[in-house]
Structure 1
Amino acid sequence: MPPNTTATSGDKPGKSGRKKGRKARLIVLVLVLAIIGGIAYGAYWSISTVRASFPQTKGSITLEGLTGPVDVKRDGYGIPQIYADSDEDLFMAQGYVQAQDRFYEMDVRRHMTSGRLSEMFGKSQIDNDEFLRTLGWDRVAKEEYDSKLSAGTKKYLQAYAKGVNAYLKGKDGADISLEYAALGFTNDYKPTEWTPVDSISWLKAMAWDLRGNMQDEIDRALMTSRLGPAQIAELYPQYPYDRNQAIVQDGQYDELTKTFEQSDGQSDSDDSSTDGTGTSSDSSSGSTEGSALQSQLSGLYNVLDDLPTAVGVNGNGIGSNSWVVAGTKTITGKPLLANDPHLSASLPSVWYQMGLHCRAVSSKCQYDVSGYTFAGMPGVIIGHNQTISWGMTNSGVDVTDLYLEKLSGDDGYQYDDKVKPFVTREETIKVAGGESKKIVVRQTEDGMPLLSDRDDELIEVGKKATVDDVDASAPDRGDGYGVALKWTALTAGTSMDAVFDIDKAKDWDSFRKAAEKFDVPSQNLVYADTSNHIGYQLPGKIPTRAKGVDGSIPAPGWDSKYKWKGYIDFDELPYEYDPARGYIVTANQAVVDKDKYPYTLTTDWGYGARSQRITDLIKGKIKGGGKISTDDMRQMQLDDDSEIAKLLVPVLKKINLDDPDVREAQKLLENWDFTQDADSAAAAYFNAVWRNILKLAFGNKLPKELRVEDQCLWVDPVNTTGPVDDTEKVRECGQRDADQAQPDGGDRWFEVVRNLMTKTDSDWWTTPDSGTRPGADHDRDKLFARAMIDARWELTAKLGKDIDTWSWGRLHRLFLKNQTLGTSGPGFLQYILNRGPWKLGGGEATVNATGWNAAGGYGVVWVPSMRMVVNLDDLDKSKWINLTGASGHAFSAHYTDQTSKWANGELLDWSFSKKAVDDSTSDTLVLKP
């Protein structure tokens, strides 16, 4: 997706204040001012102009480059199924059709991945472009295309690009989309031809948002300015292996790994000796806790906050559910597979549904596959073919490390008591309506870019830092400090090969062989086939580190012992095949018990609230020989049970409260079943209590650098519907102090609070008005009572005094915003492009993960971006749904025609066979050579 901009940054001091809203408002404000001032406004925005960009879906079109006719059949939701006689024709047609529906989205995506947003949107995007150029996604993608990918993959990418460019040929902006018509008012931007590298680069953007524990790495280091090791350990508890099961339980790895020791890495018994804080006991304990690192990371925090996102919320809150049930446990006698990735709510959806069919599968035409892909990328990312199905969730393995570099002048950095020169390159950023800007990107000899170069304040802080600021173990010469990034995605790989190979895999062996090429981002892959097998594979390029280094905090770049030692061999990565229990669940929990595997994959798993709930639902259904149906799988996806409520409500109900109004709210919890339906008043009140518990217990005790103003949403008032003028909007931040950090409320915080429940006099239970004076209250129940009072009056302000009118859905609402023009500007433009609100059930760390961030209010931040259930007994009985619709055109009937059904938990029929597709076809377009 184009950069996610549903959140608006709050006021920040210094430079970050000047950046206010940059992430949330991707488009330049001058754009909308020009639109307002356009004297031809009325005529220009006529319906005829808007409809000019709608795709042709019937009749025929001649495309130069095809070798034979191609049929494009669309169902009543505009979802295309393409039929061709050769691979090249199939992917060329895919490029043409996706460009018909979504080219503007594709164009924004490629400008983001290449650091060229300023070319479209002007000077407001220069800082973002500088950072993205420093990462160099498109440079790595070009290297992959030139030297890593197979000849067949290159051929398909070229065919896809040819199809996109066939669509663009002869069209001006207004012919392509309404957004280009708007852009034409200010900068005369015109799209250029699509290239194969444009498609590959999106995998890098996806990998960035799914990069694992980099944010935790920064947070832990920043916490050391105010908290001790024991306190940090309480905020990063160990994964509860005894309560929440890991993905791989029976444990199948290469036999060698049971006693494996390699020359360039260490087994888990030697790899990471931790002190219980989640940090390495032999890491850069002195130097990385110094003020130089604190200053650098604090500045980097702001830079990352402002950066546009691809598919997630800048690496935070990313989750997904996927599970598979063996045929022995299903009604059909064949496997069922479910998947619902949790990504940012975006319009149009990050996913594009389609089918790619060879009329006759042969060596000339090898594909018969259907599912979800990204606009701008050939092939299918998640779905099924004739014999297998697969799903994905983010594994969360640690593939990034930050290094504090000791700089020596402008040209070098310290490494093992030597000065090494930076590798540099000059980048020119072109700016719509302004002068170009040149930057110099510096990176270490092993390819680590210096992220701190992209912020003027960081550069100044780095120069001012002296050796006295850090532990004496730091080098004793040089001119300052900087922060560099080591990340697997900055090395050319073969993930694009994997996409095509998975699409045509026929069995477990060919699936695993294809998965071996899926190096970034590392995903949990679940598998099922029509021969009645199920499986799981962890793929990815996963680093091994030296003894005593676990990657949980930034490391000193000047010491070679912190350098990565190698990568885990694919044969040694965890997998399962046909486990005896008859099901496999992945929902971002630990992949494997740390005592059963010789490598440290990460110290920062999701804590398993969703995965264990899914496991319990499956166990409950198959208990006593019960069988699971397709609709059972759908119902599990909609489960909105709150684990944290089960823990806290029994305690909250016992607290004595004097205020009758607060007692009235407390009574809502008495008969509550812990489900978070949209119409539940109890869910509304409990979530408000939970948010206030987090604020009171932790908000005033965390370093202010961890504040997350960007999660505060400017939204329509709770009691209205539809887009309104900006002046009427309210900022959903609740009672949060702008200078106070607050937890996001995810399942890590479930575990934090669970572990503190028996420590009723813990320092964390000190309320802000108690301070830290001697004799201050350290009383859990007093803090809970205060949270219940605050929640009552917070909801009174938001929803009214009459609790009979309260509902979770009135607080927990989904707004879908066009990712550029729909996030800024006058009400009329937002009204044209945006949709919503929808009142949703579900919540944070539930299976129906309509995520909200407790630091910024109750509005929906990320969602199950699609849902699917694949029936391996009869593929035509599979079901699917998308968050929005097939089209990116605002007035198309297929812009958001799936959203209401998605919000209601419905799934659409998913036709696959030729007969089923023909029966569901509404429009047929023939592409002719």
Structure 2
Amino acid sequence: MSEHTRPAGPTAGPTAGPTTGPTTGPTAGPTAGPTTGPTTGPTTGPAAWWRAFRRMPDSVRVSTYVVAGLVLSLVVAGLFALALARRPLPQTGGELEVPGVAGTVTVLRDGAGVPQVYADSVTDLAIAQGYVTAQERFFQMDVRRRSASGTLAELVGGGALPGDRVACTLGFRVVAQQEVALLSPDTRAFLEAYADGVNAYLAQQEPSELAVEYTLLDLDGADSAPEDWTAVDSLTWLKAYGWDLGGGAADEVERVLVADAVGSQRAEQLWPAYSHQTVTPVVTGGAVVDGRFEPGATEGGTRNPQRVGFGPRRVRAVGAAGRALDALPEGVGRGPGVGSNAVVVGAEASATGAPLLAVDPHLAAQVPGPFMQVGLHCRDVGPECPWDVAGFSLPGVPGVVQGHNAEVAWGMAAAGLDTTDLVVERIRDGRVLTDRRTRPVRTRTETIDVAGAGSELLTVRTTRHGPILSDIDPAAREAGEAAPAARGADLDEELAIAVQWAGSTPAPTLDALVDLALAEDVATARQALSSWAVPAVDVVLADREGTVGVQVAGAVPVRKSGRDTTEPTAGWRAETEWTGRTLAYGALPFTTQPADGVAVAANQAPVGTDYPFHLGTTWDPGSRASRLRDLVVSEPQDVGSLQEAQRDSLSPLAPVLVPALLAVGLDDGYADDGQRLLEDWDLTQPAAGSGAAAAAYLNATWRELLALTFHDELPAQVWPDGGPRWVEVVAGLLDSPQDPWWDDVTTDRVEDRDDVLRRAMLEARDELTRRQAREAEQWTWGHVHRLFLTSPGLVGDGVALDLARRVVEPDAWEVGGGPGAVDATGWDASRGFEVTTTPAMRMVLSLEDWDDSRWVSLTGVSGHPTSSHYTDQTDLLVAGGTLPFLFSPEAVADAADSELTLRPAP
């Protein structure tokens, strides 16, 4: 209040009292005497403020009105927005009527919101899982089915069109529609009951009550009312999940573009041969005898067809296929950094006297996370109701993907088997050339609706090998039409790139998940996996009887010729064809007697070089697998030591690069401050604390080194991502100081290895100085290596989408680890230090006592940003913590934080 408007007369305290009466006492009393004029009355509080306000000049009063109005509007808007954001929060206590359930279902949630469902029938369990999952994650489910079906643009607009075109072309939903009939009656019934549960929840809610994203997207005029969930929706998403974690097509694209840029000989340097001698495979020993894999066999038959040359290739068409693959929205993550650690420890290597099992897949950094914890329990487990399982589910797919039942535990790691080929097709007048004749190209038309922009028609062409990806890029198609595909071909012959994928053949993969949940021991679990098609996985297994093992599972195509499928094949040559068969399940590698009582599956080669069938070539180089195995076999393991192993951040790059960096001379002071950090470094990569400064400097130097060495000669589409393969590449180049890769072809001088190392260190020093501090000791790896969780469905531009991203995408976390480390937080060196892939969950299971197990998820159970369980587990995961993974009815009941009862609707 300004001086000239202060009321006349002193006040006796902080609050005003009556104007007459005593002036002493514990509280403010009256003034010393009556005041005069219009200021008579209270000297503070609303009345005094109002008198002072009336004395202000008109311009001041008007400004104050405006400010007060704005503040009030912001407060009201904030409260309204909060109410809208909290509206979708589900009911987790009391009772609800749910159509379809026949009996009473109990849902207990613990302090982290994890639901444990108890029912008297399998149907009620499935309905309840669908209902509860929709309560927490329906928007994620809707985005998943739309992304996989090619209908995301209908919800979010034109920004999703490129991905929708690719999803329609690949035809995930077309295959899923055929798969329903292949499922066993029990699986189909469970799947349909799950859909009924989802739809029961949808029927009770308005779109704004399902997720705040629907409310916000309505601002752009999107029709956000979701359609009912169907069995095909679940299978379509499961098909896209298989595509994300399998394949090999992107690697074929990269090889073609690199060879075109620098020639085949130099390109080979960028794909070092896999070292079977130094990396223990997933399955050791054994051989294929009479078409079946026998773990104890030492000799077997052989099948090793000769390689056949590819012939002419058109780089632009292949590049277009690669861009199409990149446009497909990531369901759970693709490409470098995606992988898994899976470990099983037998009783002889366990400090508990019983097996242990641990798994942590590394997937895209998304919110909500790809998994949701859940328990599904029959109250009276028996033939009529055999379910008693808990673990991590995929929202939108019934059952549990990773977890355990009362007798068996399982965890999955991506196997990296070669299940995809790019195929060069020669097409003329609507017919594709085969080895002896031409065949018609099949076509179908897809309609893609776009929110606020009508619709577009997409013509999908398909050959006998699969859909044509290069059609998605019109410029590439024109290039293919204008150039001959092969020597002697007519100029009007078109060249196109088709994709042939094992997942395009319908298969009952969901049967495997359901049967796995009901397995009684490792033997029946292995039998359950015989239905698994895509993605190809290494499954670690353990049972309460003490058997442990690992099984490779998945549909592996049998090719007529050659082990080398690393480049696109010629579609018109008979010898490059698939036979139409997949490798017999009995021939896939497995063991139930792992060496040292320990099996480690960390995306390395699944079996040794004596295996007679082609499984693939693009394995992880194995530093993570070797490190994890060393940690686990070093001493008897328990739950705590396995958790510690999962958090190991030792850099696989450091032993390769640090000696070379320390050998390069730099000027004392500013220039070598970073270099001196490496001298006593323990090679770990924490986010902060001891070693964090050295980790920041090494990784910054690594990024600069890759750019200086390779960006001048490689197209931007294939610049190094800095993952484990590139560590192997640079390790080889460090032994050749004058290798042409060290030279920068854009300069007049010829650079060598030490020139590049020196410049990389100096530029890293400058970069970290700009981003953090001049004093090298103050740098931290977590300051630049941050975990941003993005919402994969909110693609494109617009006020509503931008607002939605601001609401649902949380602030970043500073994290440690790095690519190739056991604590695998991947980042792309061609883009920056931000985390692109991260542990999506961690689970350590104790078969001695299930209730001693631990787990944690990338994000919380809830998909609602105003829920306390939205990212509560992210905080825990980043800090290296876990939650109790309780299983027994008594332990679950004791830990229950809420109880929801689902009753039949009248």
TM-score (norm 2): 0.88
- Name the aligned partner's letter for residue 469 of structure 2: L
**2:864 aligned with 1:889:** yes
Aligned counterparts of 2:288 and 2:208: Cα–Cα separation in 1: 55
Aligned counterparts of 2:162 and 2:675: Cα–Cα separation in 1: 48
Any idea what the Cα deviations from partners look like across 1:442-472, whole Å, max 9, x if unmatched?
111x3511112222112211211125xx445
- Name the aligned partner's letter for residue 791 of structure 1: A
| Match of residue 534, structure 2, among 502, 508, 520 | 520
Whether the 8 Å CA contact 1:271–1:599 is kept in 2: the answer is no
Q: CA deviation at 1:822?
A: 8.9
| Match of residue 685, structure 1, among 685, 697, 713 | 697
**2:606 aligned with 1:591:** yes
Aligned counterparts of 1:56 and 1:257: Cα–Cα separation in 2: 52
Aligned counterparts of 1:845 and 1:629: Cα–Cα separation in 2: 24
Moved more, 133-142 or 539-548: 539-548
Any idea what the Cα deviations from partners look like across 1:121-173, whole Å, max 9, x if unmatched?
1233233222211111011011000x211111110111001100100114211
**Equivalent in the alignment of 2:126:** 91
**Equivalent in the alignment of 2:157:** 122
Aligned counterparts of 2:114 and 2:196: Cα–Cα separation in 1: 21
**2:805 aligned with 1:793:** no
- Name the aligned partner's letter for residue 525 of structure 1: V
Q: CA deviation at 1:100?
A: 0.4
- Name the aligned partner's letter for residue 674 of structure 1: L
**Equivalent in the alignment of 2:322:** 301
Q: CA deviation at 1:698?
A: 1.8
Aligned counterparts of 1:792 and 1:76: Cα–Cα separation in 2: 45
**Equivalent in the alignment of 2:208:** 174
**2:814 aligned with 1:839:** yes
Matches within 5 A, 1:385-534: 385-409=405-429, 411-444=430-463, 446=464, 448-467=466-485, 470-472=486-488, 475-476=489-490, 478-534=492-548
**Equivalent in the alignment of 1:335:** 355
3-state SS of the aligned residue for 1:643?
coil
**Equivalent in the alignment of 2:562:** 548
Assess, with a 3 A threshold, how the Cα gap between structure 1 residues 840 and 190 changes in structure 2: closer, same or farther: same
**2:217 aligned with 1:183:** yes
**Equivalent in the alignment of 1:695:** 707
Matches within 5 A, 1:107-118: 107-118=142-153
Aligned counterparts of 1:239 and 1:60: Cα–Cα separation in 2: 58
Matches within 5 A, 1:641-790: 641-658=650-667, 660-679=669-688, 680-702=692-714, 704=715, 707-708=716-717, 741-767=718-744, 770=747, 776-777=750-751, 779-790=752-763
**Equivalent in the alignment of 1:729:** none
Q: CA deviation at 1:268?
A: 6.0
**2:593 aligned with 1:581:** no
Moved more, 477-486 or 682-691: 477-486
- Name the aligned partner's letter for residue 804 of structure 1: E
**Equivalent in the alignment of 2:891:** 916
**Equivalent in the alignment of 1:53:** 88
Matches within 5 A, 1:547-626: 547-548=561-562, 550-565=564-579, 566-594=581-609, 596-620=610-634, 622=635
**Equivalent in the alignment of 2:837:** 862
Aligned counterparts of 1:885 and 1:134: Cα–Cα separation in 2: 34
3-state SS of the aligned residue for 1:926?
strand
Any idea what the Cα deviations from partners look like across 1:341-384, whole Å, max 9, x if unmatched?
00001111110000000111112211100000111110000000
3-state SS of the aligned residue for 2:252?
helix
**2:382 aligned with 1:359:** no
- Name the aligned partner's letter for residue 410 of structure 2: W
**2:775 aligned with 1:802:** yes
- Name the aligned partner's letter for residue 666 of structure 2: L
**Equivalent in the alignment of 1:7:** none
- Name the aligned partner's letter for residue 339 of structure 1: V
- Name the aligned partner's letter for residue 298 of structure 1: G
Whether the 8 Å CA contact 2:157–2:796 is kept in 1: the answer is no
3-state SS of the aligned residue for 1:661?
coil
**Equivalent in the alignment of 2:400:** 380
Gaps of 5+ in 1: 1-37, 260-265, 274-281, 709-740
Any idea what the Cα deviations from partners look like across 1:297-341, whole Å, max 9, x if unmatched?
12222222222111003x333111011111111111001111000
Aligned counterparts of 2:589 and 2:612: Cα–Cα separation in 1: 11
Moved more, 530-539 or 202-211: 202-211
**2:99 aligned with 1:64:** yes
Aligned counterparts of 1:214 and 1:58: Cα–Cα separation in 2: 48
Aligned counterparts of 2:80 and 2:798: Cα–Cα separation in 1: 16
Whether the 8 Å CA contact 1:817–1:823 is kept in 2: the answer is no
Whether the 8 Å CA contact 1:824–1:830 is kept in 2: the answer is no
Assess, with a 3 A threshold, how the Cα gap between structure 1 residues 497 and 857 changes in structure 2: closer, same or farther: same
Gaps of 5+ in 2: 1-72, 295-299
Aligned counterparts of 1:767 and 1:188: Cα–Cα separation in 2: 53
Aligned counterparts of 1:501 and 1:133: Cα–Cα separation in 2: 31
- Name the aligned partner's letter for residue 672 of structure 2: R
Q: CA deviation at 1:394?
A: 0.5
Aligned counterparts of 2:120 and 2:552: Cα–Cα separation in 1: 34
Larger radius of gyration: 2
Whether the 8 Å CA contact 2:166–2:327 is kept in 1: the answer is no
Aligned counterparts of 1:673 and 1:575: Cα–Cα separation in 2: 37
Aligned counterparts of 1:580 and 1:688: Cα–Cα separation in 2: 39
Whether the 8 Å CA contact 2:285–2:608 is kept in 1: the answer is no
Assess, with a 3 A threshold, how the Cα gap between structure 1 residues 206 and 336 changes in structure 2: closer, same or farther: same
Aligned counterparts of 1:759 and 1:148: Cα–Cα separation in 2: 56
Assess, with a 3 A threshold, how the Cα gap between structure 1 residues 256 and 834 changes in structure 2: closer, same or farther: closer
Q: CA deviation at 1:49?
A: 2.4
Whether the 8 Å CA contact 2:417–2:615 is kept in 1: the answer is yes
Q: RMSD in angstroms over aligned alpha carbons?
A: 2.2
Whether the 8 Å CA contact 2:216–2:804 is kept in 1: the answer is no
Aligned counterparts of 1:794 and 1:819: Cα–Cα separation in 2: 30
- Name the aligned partner's letter for residue 710 of structure 2: F
Q: CA deviation at 1:851?
A: 0.6
**Equivalent in the alignment of 2:391:** 371
Q: CA deviation at 1:485?
A: 0.7
